[in-house]
Amino acid sequence: MQKSMLYPRETNCRRVVSLDGMWKFQLDFSSSGRTQGWECGLPNPDLIPVPASFQDFYTEKDIREFTGDVWYETEFFLPGEWEGKEAALRFGCATHRAEVYINGKKAAVHEGGFTPFLVPLNDLAVFSSFNRVVVIVNNELSNTSLPCGETKLLSNGKKISKPYFDFFNYSGLQRSVKLILLPKEAITDFSVDYRLQGEDAFVTYHTITNGVHPVMVKVYDEAGVLVAEANGNDGVLTIPKVRLWEVRNAYLYRFVLKILDQDKILDEYYEDIGVRTIEIKGTKFLINGKPVYLKGFGKHEDSDIIGRGFSAGVMKRDFECMKWIHANSFRTSHYPYSEEIYQMADREGFLIIDEVAAVGMFESLMNFMEASTGKHTAFFQKETTPELLQNHKEAIRELIERDKNHASVIAWSLLNEPETTDESAVAYFKEIFQYAKELDPQKRPCTFALIMNSLPNTCKCYQFSDFICLNRYYGWYLKGGYEISEAEENLRKELDEWKAKNLNIPFIFSEYGADTNPAEHKLPSVMWSQEYQIEFLTMCNNVFDCYDFIQGEQVWNFADFQTTEGIMRMNGNKKGIFTRQRQPKDAAYYLRERWASLEDDKKVKLE
């Protein structure tokens, strides 16, 4: 069976059975599971829900902070009528790496905690029978893992995760696990690109199969009317009088693919796809040739109890909150999100900057503070950098292969807050950006988010970005409180220096924010009060509106989220515009009024 990133769907030729539910679960405190044969069955398991992070279900701190091997086990029935076709397990993710055993035998390994992978079953599972699957999920961090960090051993012998990033190291089977059936001859990949001419769209498509028979493609509108068709694995579909996918006004066509042997259907697959173009022209983002100003958030997959586990209910609430506040975009900080979130964004007309899990490439346990001091770490000079580069490229490949057909995805973010002040970063960045551009059939813009010490006169890598993303905390980590007037001066000074470079590309603020206790009110304002959060945002917005090349504002963060404990964090990061329970802070009403008043082409009108 070939690897495939296609989302599992049921058709005439395919079957999907969810394995979500309560799985057996056991932490390997003594790191002895492999030597004791746990792959053949867990000796003393508990039960835990899948999908979910494992950390927040329990009351013991040793479990919440556990670093090492986490074991899962369940049984699945493999129907006899599936024999002769290709059966597999599909894991939505396993954070951060996994080994999968079928009936006691190793079936697959996967590195990277936020993209799906397939486990072929035909050679190891038994048809017309129940089969055991055991998964070892390891959540240790290193200089070569994505995201990056350290794993340390305490004096009591326990391991501890020390992330170089500011969010909790949630892990486990955090997305759905599905038993799927594919035909022997199957479609393994499908991609599209668009060109608009007058009222028509010309859709270039490319399919990959594992057989010799041709592919037929048909396109249906939302009323189920056939609007285009073509034969062949590659070709161009013409959609007359196309209804375009627009920002906050989505329209999706259904692309149906079939492999035919004369009149016999060998395989069938479909995707719901919006037709739109994305380009950067000067300092503008253009969707279908029209400028758009990004309004929205950096986000996290993070919620009470289930941690980073996917929840359709949480997803629905998030989109409703974003619609209420008049947002039109978000960045998947700092990893690829669950596939269902992109499908929802396609339906709702939201724009996504899609980010690979390349975060923590600045060697600091408090990079949000130390970057503001100008600390340098020369992160890309390590002996382990070649291994990191390969893991990074593989993560980019899986991200783009998975998400390339989503109309909502308008750009790729290839790193978040890396060290860029050392010359060693240049070759690394060059290879990463070139690789991503080669992979994407739509040639979307590529970028990365600049940390506070990546300034116009210190950053050696900004030239690789098609647009600049600034993570800036003037008024919080730097010159906070009553010094906010000087924070504004510093922010304007930096933007003046960027302006002087005449880059003629868009800038967006991909992070800016202030921690806020939702119960804290204070007149006059103090840091952490609701009043100060609004004061901070008002200062930032006043600055943004003075620079035409600033074409987006994605505040940090959509909602409060969990982090590693520490004296700078009060049970997590509290920069949310909404609480972790998705209730608005006072700043939400301020942003709602601002964003409602901003037209998508606001920055054009300033010129």
Structural domain boundaries of the chain?
15-182, 187-273, 294-606
The 8-class DSSP code of residue 521 comes to: -
Catalytic, out of 370, 511, 535, 553: 511
Q: Is 301 a catalytic residue?
A: no
Question: Cβ(551)–Cβ(294) under 8 Å?
Answer: yes
The 8-class DSSP code of residue 7 comes to: P
Task: Round to whole Å and give the CA distance between 399 and 391.
Answer: 12
Residue 550 has pLDDT above 60, yes or no: yes
Secondary element (H or E) of residue 139: none
Task: Round to whole Å and give the CA distance between 179 and 157.
Answer: 38
Task: Round to whole Å and give the CA distance between 66 and 70.
Answer: 9
Model confidence pLDDT, tens digit, residues 13-26: 999 999 999 999 99
Residue 606 has pLDDT above 50, yes or no: no
Model confidence pLDDT, tens digit, residues 307-341: 999 999 999 999 999 999 999 999 999 999 999 99
- CA-based torsion, 382, 400, 580, 551: positive or negative: positive
- CA-based torsion, 195, 201, 202, 207: positive or negative: positive
| Window from 216-220, 360-364, 421-425, 549-553 with minimum mean pLDDT | 360-364
Task: Round to whole Å and give the CA distance between 177 and 137.
Answer: 14
Residue 559 has pLDDT above 90, yes or no: yes
Return the structure tokens found at 415. Answer: 């790193």
Task: Round to whole Å and give the CA distance between 590 and 447.
Answer: 29
> In the beta sheet, which residues pair with residue 507?
468, 550
Catalytic, out of 398, 417, 494, 535: 417
Most distant CA atoms of the chain, gap in Å = 77
Residue 383 has pLDDT above 70, yes or no: yes
Query: How many Cβ atoms sit within 10 Å of the Cβ of residue 434?
Result: 12
Among the four given CATH numbers 1.20.1740.10, 3.20.20.80, 3.40.50.1000, 3.30.56.10, the one describing domain 294-606: 3.20.20.80
Banded pLDDT at 570 (limits 50, 70, 90): confident
Residue 351 has pLDDT above 90, yes or no: yes
Secondary element (H or E) of residue 48: strand 46-50
Class of the CATH-defined domain 15-182? mainly beta
Model confidence pLDDT, tens digit, residues 236-292: 999 999 999 999 999 999 999 999 999 899 999 999 999 999 999 999 999 999 999
401 — alpha (psi -120 to 50), left (phi > 0) or beta? Answer: alpha
pLDDT for 327 equals: 98
Cα–Cα distance list, 371 to 89, 169, 360, 362 (Å): 42, 21, 12, 9
pLDDT for 374 equals: 60
Q: Is 511 a catalytic residue?
A: yes
Q: What is the mean pLDDT of residues 411-418?
A: 97
Return the structure tokens found at 545. Answer: 């509106």
Residue 365 has pLDDT above 90, yes or no: no
pLDDT for 369 equals: 53
pLDDT for 507 equals: 98
Banded pLDDT at 371 (limits 50, 70, 90): low
Q: Are strands 446-450 and 409-416 parallel, antiparallel or unpaired?
A: parallel
Q: What is the mean pLDDT of residues 128-143?
A: 97
Task: Round to whole Å and give the CA distance between 108 and 106.
Answer: 6
Phi, psi (deg, nearest 5) at residue 253 = -95, 150
Q: What is the mean pLDDT of residues 22-40?
A: 97
Task: Round to whole Å and give the CA distance between 322 and 298.
Answer: 12
Residue 588 has pLDDT above 70, yes or no: yes
Owner of token pair 């699957």: 133
Return the structure tokens found at 514. Answer: 């202030």
| Closest C-alpha among 207, 202, 204 to residue 190 | 207
Q: On the CB side of 310, how many CA atoms lie within 13 Å of its CA? A: 23
Is CATH 3.40.50.2000 the classification given to domain 187-273? no
Model confidence pLDDT, tens digit, residues 455-466: 999 999 999 999
Residue 482's Cβ-count burial label (10 Å; 0-12, 13-18, 19+) is exposed
Secondary element (H or E) of residue 595: helix 586-597
Model confidence pLDDT, tens digit, residues 70-94: 999 999 999 999 999 999 999 999 9
* Whether the bond into 334 is cis, omega within 30 of 0: yes
Banded pLDDT at 607 (limits 50, 70, 90): very low
| Closest C-alpha among 398, 371, 368 to residue 556 | 368
Query: Which residues does 258 contact at the CB level (< 8 Å), separation at least 6?
Result: 215, 216, 218, 265, 266, 267, 268
Return the structure tokens found at 441. Answer: 């059939």
Return the structure tokens found at 186. Answer: 């199957």
